[in-house]
Structure 1
Amino acid sequence: MSAVLDDMDSRPGSTTSLLRTVIGLYLRDAGGWIAGRDMVSLMEALGTSATVTRTALGRLRKKDVVRQENRDGVAGFTLTAGAAAMLARGDRRIFTPRSMSDSDPWCLVSFSIPETEREKRHQLRRRLHWIGCGTVAAGLWICPDTLRGEVEEILVDLDLRDMATVFVTRTPMVGGSLRDAAAKWWDLDVVAGLHRDFIDFIHGQGAAVPLPDDGVEASASSFATYVQCIDRWRVIPYLDPGLPGSFLPDDWPGAEGTALFSRIVDAYAGPSAEYVRSTLGVAVP
């Protein structure tokens, strides 16, 4: 079983969560290695002390996200192989939010796992939930067909592939409305709340999201704004399956949240990378 999971248990805004976000955004583009002192400098721009940062780095080492590696006598950190794959999946989710149309296919996952494997059954349900699957019944889960590859990876990783059957289907036929069914299969109130919290957080930053032609300078401030916004956003595209409008309530905030996120990336990704480049002394795209 893989030792590295997509860790969504860290509270957004916490030191561990912010550090994971910084690592996900910049460690790979910095050549796969960052000196510990430079990581401390980046986290100081986020208001985190060196002592707290080193403690968080220790936690991520225990989670098998990073490993310590010295280069030319300088202590630093690099990604583990499992973490690199995890972050690649995260990139696809975070920067390409899902959005289904009514004609897109669905994936159904049916499984029957004996009580002797109850821990694997628990892990399967947990991981299906964290990639945005909905629960039709205890042993029957549903998700957009675009997630089928990740479902297969989870089943193989947990050594449960021979205990599950995966179906590809058209729009499910339900006894009531599709909106009522979706509200039972997914906790849409939680997902909507995440979108609204993100929107409120961004608006609470005042003028932190400029118009595209305003321009943002590379600085510790622009770096901090970008990292904090990504950190607040990154859990949403995991839990939000991107359902068609026919499955969602009329006041669904997903479109507004996604548009706001895209605006932040357009305005801040470049200046933030420039700040990291100046801090590390390496080329960061």
Structure 2
Amino acid sequence: MIFTLYGDYIRHYGNEIWIGSLIRLLKEFGHNEQSIRAAMSRMYKQGWVDSRKSGNKSYYYLTKRGMERMEEAAKRIFKLSPEKWDGKWRMLIYSIPEEKRNIRDEIRKELVWSGFGNLSNSTWISPNDLTKQVYSLVDKYGIQEYVHYFISNYDGPHQNERLLNACWDISEINEHYSDFIRRYQNQYEKDAIKLKNNEMTEAECFVERTRLVHEYRKFLFIDPGLPEELLPEKWLGNEAASLFSDYYRLLAKPSGTFFESVFQKGNELDRKDKEYNMYQHPLMIEG
């Protein structure tokens, strides 16, 4: 949920937030202060966020790594239609020694998130141009000597669909999209009526929009974002993307207003702290 708030709100407001404001926002979802601080501590240790102090207040901001992940996620989340395919497959093969087994596990998670499919042991493929992500991964884990990366054509003896079915369960992904549509189509229509009749508060809109994004971003872990040419005839991803976009826009203004009201209070406290500290400077006191 914290990742969702950074991706959908905080990164558009200077990429930094006072922990008190974050706690206030997450209380709308029933999270307590202790669990929020523990989650931020984990994100800090994992290198997603960094912090600074202003007086006795802590402010957290995304690191470069965190920003890059948010940018990549946003491009995929808000993409309304599949991209065109250049006809080539990207293939990553690695042979990482046993003593670096923990790195292997991390790399698998990263590859799945980026949209790679596991063709066979230590062989991953994607029809998307993920070259940038591959080399970022190689540099991050320092595994240059253990990997080979190819951009190539598939020359059979089977069809491209055979590769798809070996790496991804397309029917299962479609079923997840069907569940999303069934759940949110009805909710979208109800909330549209509530908003028209002024029956939803800004805080309620904030909660619903954040939950919507939080649920939809889960598709980043199961849907590789296949190009149009490789998708089945009955593909529900486009319908789900359209519903997500419509519902997101419906809630955008009131939810944004609520976020800004909480966020600005944190900024105001930071400004007052800076003014107080400035007037406590020895030169100012002497003056």
Structure 2: which amino acid aligns with 1:207?
Answer: E
CA contact (8 A) 1:67 1:79 kept: yes
Whichever structure has more helix as a proportion of its residues is 2
Find 1:162's aligned residue among 139, 145, 148: 145
User: Do structure 1's residue 110 and structure 2's residue 85 form an aligned pair?
Assistant: no
User: Residues 111 and 262 of structure 1: is their aligned pair in 2 closer, same or farther, counting only changes over 3 Å?
Assistant: same
Q: Write the deviation string for residues 152-201 of structure 1: whole angstroms up to 9, x where unpaired.
A: 2112222222332222234x233344334311122334433432332233
CA contact (8 A) 1:33 1:78 kept: yes
C-alpha distance in 1 between matches for 2:107 and 2:57: 40
Aligned counterpart, 2:278: none
Relative to the length of structure 1, the TM-score reads 0.77
- Count of residues in Structure 1 that have an aligned counterpart in Structure 2: 265
Structure 2: which amino acid aligns with 1:139?
Answer: S
Q: Write the deviation string for residues 94-138 of structure 1: whole angstroms up to 9, x where unpaired.
A: 223672435443312233334444433333333212211112222
Residue 61 of structure 1 aligns to a residue in which SS? Answer: helix
CA contact (8 A) 2:93 2:148 kept: yes
CA contact (8 A) 1:202 1:208 kept: no
Residue 207 of structure 1 aligns to a residue in which SS? Answer: helix
Residue 91 of structure 2 aligns to a residue in which SS? Answer: strand
User: Residues 97 and 169 of structure 1: is their aligned pair in 2 closer, same or farther, counting only changes over 3 Å?
Assistant: farther
User: Do structure 1's residue 194 and structure 2's residue 176 form an aligned pair?
Assistant: yes
C-alpha distance in 1 between matches for 2:34 and 2:122: 45
> How far apart are residue 281 of structure 1 and its match?
1.9
Q: Write the deviation string for residues 234-274 of structure 1: whole angstroms up to 9, x where unpaired.
A: 13135322224553444332111111122223223333222
User: Residues 29 and 231 of structure 1: is their aligned pair in 2 closer, same or farther, counting only changes over 3 Å?
Assistant: same
Aligned counterparts, 1:1-285, within 5 A: 18-96=1-79, 99-170=82-153, 172-203=154-185, 205=187, 207=189, 210=192, 219-281=202-264
C-alpha distance in 2 between matches for 1:69 and 1:76: 5
Higher mean C-alpha deviation, range 93-102 or range 22-31:
93-102
User: Residues 99 and 161 of structure 1: is their aligned pair in 2 closer, same or farther, counting only changes over 3 Å?
Assistant: farther
Q: Which has the larger radius of gyration?
A: 2
C-alpha distance in 1 between matches for 2:100 and 2:47: 24
What value does the CA root-mean-square deviation take over the aligned residues? Answer: 3.2
User: Residues 195 and 175 of structure 1: is their aligned pair in 2 closer, same or farther, counting only changes over 3 Å?
Assistant: same
C-alpha distance in 2 between matches for 1:63 and 1:204: 38
Relative to the length of structure 2, the TM-score reads 0.77
User: Residues 181 and 77 of structure 1: is their aligned pair in 2 closer, same or farther, counting only changes over 3 Å?
Assistant: closer
C-alpha distance in 2 between matches for 1:70 and 1:88: 26
Gaps of 5+ in 1: 1-17
C-alpha distance in 1 between matches for 2:213 and 2:188: 17
